[in-house]
Structure 1
Amino acid sequence: MSAPNDLRPERSRTPRVVRQFVADPTAMVAFGFLILLILVALLTPWIAPHSPDTQHLDRALDGPNGTHWLGADQLGRDVLSRLMYAARLSLMAATVAVGIAVVIGVPIGVAGGYFGGWVDRIVVLIADSLMGFPYLILAIGVVGVLGPSLVNAMIAIGVVYVPRLIRVARSAVLAVRGDTYLEASRSIGATSASIIVRHVVPNVMPPVVVQISLMCGFAMLAEASLSFLGLGAQPPAASWGSMLSSSVRYMDRQPLLMIWPGLALVLTVLAINLVGDGLRDAFARRDKRSGS
C-alpha cells in the first residue's frame, strides 16, 4: 500500500509545476513565441505570400518592398516565404532528431541506472565514448557515412544527443533506485519491467523533460550548421542554415539576406532555451517545497 501512497503526491503536484511555469513572465513570452512559430509553420502552405521556389531573376536581391516584404534572394525568390518554409523544416528536424535521441537514450539510461552492475558499466562506457567526440564533428562523421540529406542529418543529430539523455536518465534513476516504494514493490513480487514503467519512469521524467526542451534548441543549431555546410537540407529546400550559406557571397550587396535567417534562428533557439529554463525552475521549486 505504501507505493501508491508515495506516488499520489507526484500526481497532485503536477498542477503546481504548471502554475510555477505560468508565473514566469520570461518563460511565458518565449512559450508564446514558440506557439506562434509552430502555428505559422503548420499553416505555411496556406499563408505564405509566394511559392518558396518560384524564381524571378529580374527581382534578384531586391530589398523589402510591397511585393516581397522581406526582399528577394539571389534568384528572386521571396525571402519571407522561404523563411516560413524553413521554419517548418527546422522544427521537424529538431523534433525528429530529439525523438530519436529519446527513444534510444532514455531506455538505455533507465536500464543502466536500475539494474546496475555490468549493465551500468556498459551503458556508462557507451555514453562516455560518444561524448568524447565534439558533437558537430560526430554529426559530420555520421552524415559523411550516410550521405548528405535532411533525413541523414536528423539521424546524425539524434545519435549525437543519445549519450546526453543516457546520462540524464541514468542519474535520475540512481537518485530514486533505493527509495522505499521501489523496495515495497519488489517485496510484493512486482516484476522489474512493471516497476520501471509504473514507478521509475514517472519519477525520472522531470529532468528528462527539461533536457529535451533544451536539446531542441541545440538540435536546431546543429541542423542549421549541417545545412550551412551542405550536409543537411539540399537545394531547393529552404533551411535557415542553407539560406545563411547562400547569402554569404552577397552580404556586401544585400546584407539583409543574411540577417533574416540568422535572426529567426537566434530568436527561436533563445525562446526554446528560455522555456527550458522556466521548466527547470518550476520543477526545482516544486522539489524544494515537497522536501520542506
Structure 2
Amino acid sequence: MVREVHVGNVVFGGNRPLVLIAGPCAIENEDLTLRIAAYLKELTTSLGIGLVFKASYDKANRTSVNAFRGPGLEEGLRILQRVKSEFELPVISDVHDLSQVAPAAEVLDIIQIPAFLSRQTDLLVAAAQTGKVINVKKGQFLAPWDMKNAVGKLEASGNRNILLTERGASFGYNNLVTDMRSLVIMRETGCPVIFDATHSVQLPGGAGTASAGQRQYVGALSRAAVATGIDGLFWEVHENPDQALCDGPNSLPLGDLSGMLRQMLAIDAIVKGY
C-alpha cells in the first residue's frame, strides 16, 4: 500500500483521489502569478480536489545563458508566500543548491528536487533534514527502479514524507518518452507517485537555444497515467502559453483545464473505486 503524505489539507496516496500540482513554469511577475493561483483555486475547489501551487523562483537549468530564469530566491519566495497566505494553498518549488534549502524551507510546503539533481546526495540529505515533504523528480537518465536509492537517502536522513515524480526519459536527441510502467514500479517504493505530463512532452533543447514541446499530447498521456492509479498530476499552466517566458510550448492554457480535469477525475474514480 502506498503511504499517505499530508501537505496541509492535501493528502497524496493511500488510494485517495487525485491531487493536482499546477502553476506557471516560472514566476514571471506577481500579478500573473496571483491570477493563475486564483483561477486554479476556484477550479479545484469547484471540483473538490486538492491543489498544490507550483512556480519556480529560479530556473537554473535553462538551455541558454540568456534564457529567463525568474525573479530569484528572495523575491520569488516572497511571492509564493503571498500565494500561500492569500489563497490558503500549499506551495512547491525547486531547490538547486545547498544554499537555497534553508530559506526555501521557511516558505515552501514541498521542496522539489529537479530531475537533473535527483542523485545529488548532499542536496537530498539537506532537503530531507528540513522535515518538509520532498518531491523528487526522476532523472531523465534513470530507470524507475533506481529511484529506490533516492528514497533510501531521504529516509536515512529521517524523512519519510516523500513524493516521486515521473517526467519522461531521454530517448535519442531532443526527445523524451514516458514508460507508463515506471509509474507502477515507483509506487512499489511505498511513496505516492506524480506524473508530470507537461514536462514529459517537452523537447529539451528542441528549439536550439530553448526547449520546444508538444502540448497537444498532454491530455492523452495524462489519461494513460491516471489509469495506472497514480496519486497526482503535475501540469504547468499559463494564461497565454505562446507568450510564456519559460516552457510555453509544453504548458497548458487555463481554458483547457476544466474539461481535462473532469476527464481525469472520472478515470481516477473508476480506478480507485470511490
Shorter-chain TM band: under 0.3
TM-score by length of 2: 0.23
TM-score by length of 1: 0.22
The structure in which a higher percent of residues are strand is: 2
Larger radius of gyration: 1
The structure in which a higher percent of residues are helix is: 1
